[in-house]
Structure 1
Amino acid sequence: MSYTKDQVNVRKFDVVIVGAGGSGMRASLQLARAGLNVAVLSKVFPTRSHTVAAQGGVGASLGNMSEDNWHYHFYDTIKGSDWLGDQDAIEFMCQEAPKVVYELEHFGMPFDRNPDGTIYQRPFGGHTANYGEKPVQRACAAADRTGHAMLHTLYQQNVAAHTTFFVEWMALDLIRDADGDVVGVTAIEMETGDFYILHAKTVMLATGGAGRIFQASTNAFINTGDGLGMAARAGVPLQDMEFWQFHPTGVAGAGVLLTEGCRGEGAILRNSEGERFMERYAPTLKDLAPRDFVSRSMDQEIKEGRGCGPNKDYILLDMTHLGADTIHKRLPSVEEIGHNFANVDITKEPIPVVPTIHYQMGGIPTNINGQVVVPMGDDPNVPVRGLYAVGECSCVSVHGANRLGTNSLLDLLVFGKAAGNHIIANHSNGAFKPLPATAADYSLERLNRLESASDGEYAQHIANDIRNTMQQHAGVFRTQASMDEGVVKVAELRERVKGLGLKDHSRVFNMARQEALEVENLIEVAQATMTSAAARHECRGAHTVLDYERPADDPVAPLGRNDAEWMKHTLWLSEGNQLGYKPVRTQPLTVDTVPPKVRTF
């Protein structure tokens, strides 16, 4: 049965937030406490959002366990980003970090404690004291369930603040008026299949990452890039989509994440010879080098025949020396994952791991206030009125070409709060901008195209082909020829997406319809990634292209970084599959610029 205009329901809110993860709920809490009428849409119950899967900690220079200050954190984040991070945004995040962590503590976050009552902090990859001289304990942790604790804390505070939640709703498209301002979103209530326009003074995208464009992923099945798809279809470019982080320790064969907190507590990566091989690649930080560096080192060991198992296709993560008491106290979820997904007792034997896609550094371009920005004339950062983005779906850019562990939970706290404050400061108590007469047309056309295509292709067949293509052509190590081939394959997949069909036309919890709509988001992200990657002719951070590595004593160091030509952000526009670029902001707010240099650890 087709959707018609007379079936459109309209509701009004000061702010509509799409996504109920950590960033969305941190922003909604700020807004609801200020008295704004806030609606938060989520495909799942808020405490099932993907932030719940974050394990290791949130980075902040509290200095509870070792010498630390925000200047060290600032330096580590720039170096970790391979100098593609914007230094003004990084300074803002690192300065705000202790404040938002203490604020979260006061909300009721159950951090682990030191004997003196202060927040427990563990070491994490790439975090150092004295500008790289030694590891530092900066990750504020609640065992290995930090994201779980954070999400529940924020949800409880939002309930107390009377935030309105729309649970099991799927947002479809942004509504822009003749001026280009965003005035609302279209959405479907999954339980009934009813179609809605949510009319708003401000819309915020907080939909998380899109790791489900890859076959092997630590991401939840809900992470289909919905916010990025909405932005791309509305004419907003996506920034730096070539940079995807492979987490070094996904369970081999399952993809389930084993937190970097394992190595923070002292776990060791070993090859088939039992060697702690990271000592060769990163003599100072060893297993606590940044994630892109460790992932390349692991992949190199496997390529050179020192992988473990009958097929020599994984590495072993050894925690047995930590002792059962430490594992029970600090890594209880990891122990459970070992039993359930690898049939391994990590207190007695090492667990097989491989690098697994984990996080997107790119996303919807924003400034430090969370405002979505687009190029206009000579200005590459003109705000789109009425539109904000926070969390993993956004690109501030504080992560550049590679994110440091613990900076994702920090990112969502700092910029979720900052965006909330900016909306409050600029909120108008006056009338809503009117909806355009065509507000529902585009989304209705998308829905009815699916309804009329009973003999079209099944969404999951295309989704699986997208994932296989991305896994093959945009992995840890890339070649120009492989990426160019991937661009062609993804373009062919985009044509197939136009032929999606539905065999189930029911309205109530029609998951086939939801999956088809998600595939239309996945293809936007996949094409943005593949096109952006093939065009960046250098190595930087998570983007390691074998063609551009220059010979070096260290076989995994990406020394093919080309600062003269490629110290710039990529901007991908869906219409016409076009690419543009804008400069990296290298001037911090109050301190000296950190100049580029070769990354060694």
Structure 2
Amino acid sequence: MVAVKNSLPRRKFDVVVVGAGGAGMRCSLQLAQAGLSVAVLSKVFPTRSHTVAAQGGVSASLGNMSEDNWYWHMYDTVKGSDWLGDQDAIEFMCREAPNAVYELEHFGMPFDRNADGTIYQRPFGGHTANFGEKPVQRACAAADRTGHAMLHTLYQRNVAARTHFLVEWMALDLLRDDDGDVVGVTALEMETGDIYILEAKTTVMATGGAGRIWAASTNAFINTGDGLGMVARSGLPLEDMEFWQFHPTGVAGAGVLITEGVRGEGGILLNKNGERFMERYAPTLKDLAPRDFVSRSMDQEIKEGRGCGPDGSYVVLKLDHLGSDVINKRLPSIREIAIKFGNVDPIKDPIPVVPTIHYQMGGIPTNYHGQVVEWADGANRVVNGLYAIGECAATSVHGANRLGTNSLLDLIVFGRAAGNHIVAAHPERQKTHKPLPQQSLEFSLDRVNALESRANGEKTQDVGNAIRVSMQRHCGVFRTLELLEEGVGQIADLAERVKHVSFKDKSKVFNTARIEALELSNMIEVARATVLAASKRTESRGAHALDDFPTRDDENWLKHSLWYSNTNSLDYKPVQMKPLTVDSFPPKARTF
């Protein structure tokens, strides 16, 4: 498959952006409009990126529907993160939110409107007025297709700006020189099966999440952690990988997402007794408590025998009381999903739902400019030439638990911020391309050649399914040290099996068997990081609920985990408690 190393085709750009979701395209738009040559790689056509699946809204303190300000939004985000979020990055995001949303509006994004023409906003879990006093309407929505509207808007703007898209390409490995600087990537063109060297003065990782390492997931099949695998193999750490969000409302048996916007519009969760059980767990916010809180409450109801259905394996989401007009206007896609995947019409009957893996809070460590950082000698050191944005990045604005609608906000705020930072740095620091690092290039090609030349071995799908089953069993909503430690051993064994996968079809044109085998090498890196980091965090915080240690331990665990692939080891660094311009929010009990 691979040509002789010295004769690989090369292409040069100022910036290569890996991933064409909301973050990648918001960044590329900023770069293209500034006149830089930018290439955006995507495994799928840009408007099929996973941002298209986001439903409920994008958060910003516009105050169109109720009194609001960015400082309350910052407090909610810090509290939602269970105090593991970096408060400088959180302040930056929440202050920038209104301008970022108004900018989307001016780009032509078709938000729903109020009678006075302002952007419609709905309530969402964990978003409050006056520091937790009551729910606030902060989620700027385009019906229940907000991500779809955002992605198409950004794609159209990129087309107008003449952004160069490399569609159905897969990035393979980062190219790092002897100074540790990133000078580009190797990438596979799916149409031909050829490998290219893409040289770049700056490389931006915007590859999204890795939720496909679980058996039950709301994630698209493309979400295999490619950016995380690339970064881990290059010797850089992954941060806070123990924290994964289980969305409370995935369709039971299908995993397809039912947006939190349903509860924002007034939908309620019921157990088999018809009881609105969230009133017991979160008496103030009820069904609009943060996602980790609601997911654990649902799981508790099911475990204690109050689940619905013949085997008591789910609870139900009731929205028939909203009326057909509201459902058809505000939640049309949800009705369609419920009919197709849940076999119920929510205008008449409740939807069966269970917590389903949805979002990674951890990822590639960055600062709030999007620059990737390493922890060395008690400080963050910038990795020259490398940025990360969106779900693959740990900025860290989400900490131990993300608030709904902060994900779409994360994409546009930090996509724009990274673009601006690259443009500002470009004239002074990036006049020419650095020489290609031969050792880094050989590592990437040898890795692919080893897979390509293997005649016999295990099937990719067998090992992939084993990873998903193991993660589902050992690293779920509720965790125990015994289960996690057993999972560490299983994932280590599976990592060895990954080294021996093979595929029989060696054809070059659109060979999906080859793509899936390459994706598996990224998935195993994410699984290894997740289960080891979870097994070592002896507390419960946000989405990491450990039965053996049920309380939060700020004295010992107010710190970020850093996982290194080459040694399969962990290091830690402190949470940034100091905001940019305002007073810090000190940790306190998290009640709703």
Aligned amino acid, residue 9 of structure 1:
P
Aligned amino acid, residue 474 of structure 2:
H
Query: What is the deviation of 1:2?
Result: 5.1
Work out whether 1:586 is the aligned partner of 2:572.
no
- Aligned equivalent of 1:390: 389
For 1:20, what is the secondary structure of its paired residue? coil
Question: % of aligned pairs identical?
Answer: 72
Describe the superposition over 1:523-545 as per-residue Cα deviations: whole angstroms up to 9, x where unpaired.
00000000000000000000000
Query: What is the deviation of 1:376?
Result: 2.0
2:587 to 569, 590, 596: 596
Describe the superposition over 1:528-581 as per-residue Cα deviations: whole angstroms up to 9, x where unpaired.
0000000000000000001112xxxxxxxxxx1000000000000001101000
Query: What is the deviation of 1:454?
Result: 1.6
Work out whether 1:23 is the aligned partner of 2:14.
no
- Aligned equivalent of 1:570: 561
- Aligned equivalent of 2:213: 213
Answer whether contact 1:80 1:126 (CA < 8 A) is retained.
yes
Query: What is the deviation of 1:437?
Result: 2.9
Aligned amino acid, residue 164 of structure 1:
H
For 1:75, what is the secondary structure of its paired residue? helix
C-alpha distance in 2, partners of 1:348/1:477?
33
- Aligned equivalent of 1:530: 531
Answer whether contact 2:2 2:194 (CA < 8 A) is retained.
no
Aligned amino acid, residue 545 of structure 1:
L
- Aligned equivalent of 2:345: 345
Aligned amino acid, residue 528 of structure 2:
Q
For 2:458, what is the secondary structure of its paired residue? coil
C-alpha distance in 2, partners of 1:20/1:430?
26
Aligned amino acid, residue 571 of structure 1:
L
- Aligned equivalent of 2:504: 503
C-alpha distance in 1, partners of 2:439/2:302?
55
Aligned amino acid, residue 487 of structure 1:
V
Answer whether contact 1:478 1:546 (CA < 8 A) is retained.
yes
Aligned amino acid, residue 423 of structure 1:
I
Aligned amino acid, residue 191 of structure 1:
E
Work out whether 1:470 is the aligned partner of 2:461.
no
Answer whether contact 1:469 1:486 (CA < 8 A) is retained.
yes
Pairing 1:53-132 to 2, within 5 Å after superposition: 53-132=53-132
C-alpha distance in 2, partners of 1:69/1:5?
56
Moved more, 495-504 or 357-366: 495-504
Answer whether contact 2:2 2:195 (CA < 8 A) is retained.
no
Pairing 1:250-289 to 2, within 5 Å after superposition: 250-289=250-289
Query: What is the deviation of 1:7?
Result: 4.6
C-alpha distance in 1, partners of 2:553/2:214?
27
Query: What is the deviation of 1:439?
Result: 4.6
- Aligned equivalent of 1:335: 335
Aligned amino acid, residue 403 of structure 1:
R
Aligned amino acid, residue 578 of structure 1:
S
Work out whether 1:480 is the aligned partner of 2:469.
no
C-alpha distance in 1, partners of 2:109/2:236?
36
Work out whether 1:494 is the aligned partner of 2:495.
yes
For 2:510, what is the secondary structure of its paired residue? coil
Aligned amino acid, residue 76 of structure 2:
D
Query: What is the deviation of 1:137?
Result: 0.1
C-alpha distance in 2, partners of 1:29/1:291?
32
Query: What is the deviation of 1:4?
Result: 2.5
Pairing 1:302-321 to 2, within 5 Å after superposition: 302-321=302-321
- Aligned equivalent of 1:137: 137
- Aligned equivalent of 2:418: 419
Aligned amino acid, residue 552 of structure 2:
R
C-alpha distance in 1, partners of 2:501/2:446?
14
Aligned amino acid, residue 301 of structure 2:
E
Query: What is the deviation of 1:3?
Result: 4.0
For 1:465, what is the secondary structure of its paired residue? helix
Answer whether contact 1:86 1:400 (CA < 8 A) is retained.
yes
C-alpha distance in 1, partners of 2:261/2:433?
47
Residues 600 and 149 (structure 1 numbering): CA distance in 2 closer, same or farther, change over 3 Å? same
Query: What is the deviation of 1:378?
Result: 2.6
C-alpha distance in 1, partners of 2:452/2:355?
40
Aligned amino acid, residue 546 of structure 1:
D
Describe the superposition over 1:483-510 as per-residue Cα deviations: whole angstroms up to 9, x where unpaired.
0110011000001111111211111111
Residues 50 and 404 (structure 1 numbering): CA distance in 2 closer, same or farther, change over 3 Å? same
Answer whether contact 2:206 2:390 (CA < 8 A) is retained.
yes
C-alpha distance in 1, partners of 2:34/2:451?
41
- Aligned equivalent of 1:553: none
Query: What is the deviation of 1:438?
Result: 3.5
C-alpha distance in 2, partners of 1:265/1:243?
28
Answer whether contact 1:218 1:250 (CA < 8 A) is retained.
yes
- Aligned equivalent of 2:459: 458
Answer whether contact 1:169 1:190 (CA < 8 A) is retained.
yes
C-alpha distance in 2, partners of 1:507/1:386?
31
C-alpha distance in 2, partners of 1:331/1:95?
29
- Aligned equivalent of 1:555: none
TM-score (normalised: structure 1): 0.97
Query: What is the deviation of 1:456?
Result: 1.2
- Aligned equivalent of 1:445: 446
Answer whether contact 2:54 2:148 (CA < 8 A) is retained.
yes
For 1:136, what is the secondary structure of its paired residue? strand
C-alpha distance in 2, partners of 1:448/1:134?
58
Gaps of 5+ in 2: none
Gaps of 5+ in 1: 550-559
Query: What is the deviation of 1:117?
Result: 0.1
TM-score (normalised: structure 2): 0.99
Describe the superposition over 1:386-428 as per-residue Cα deviations: whole angstroms up to 9, x where unpaired.
0000000000100000000000000011000000000000003
Aligned amino acid, residue 573 of structure 1:
Y
Aligned amino acid, residue 12 of structure 1:
K
Aligned amino acid, residue 418 of structure 1:
A
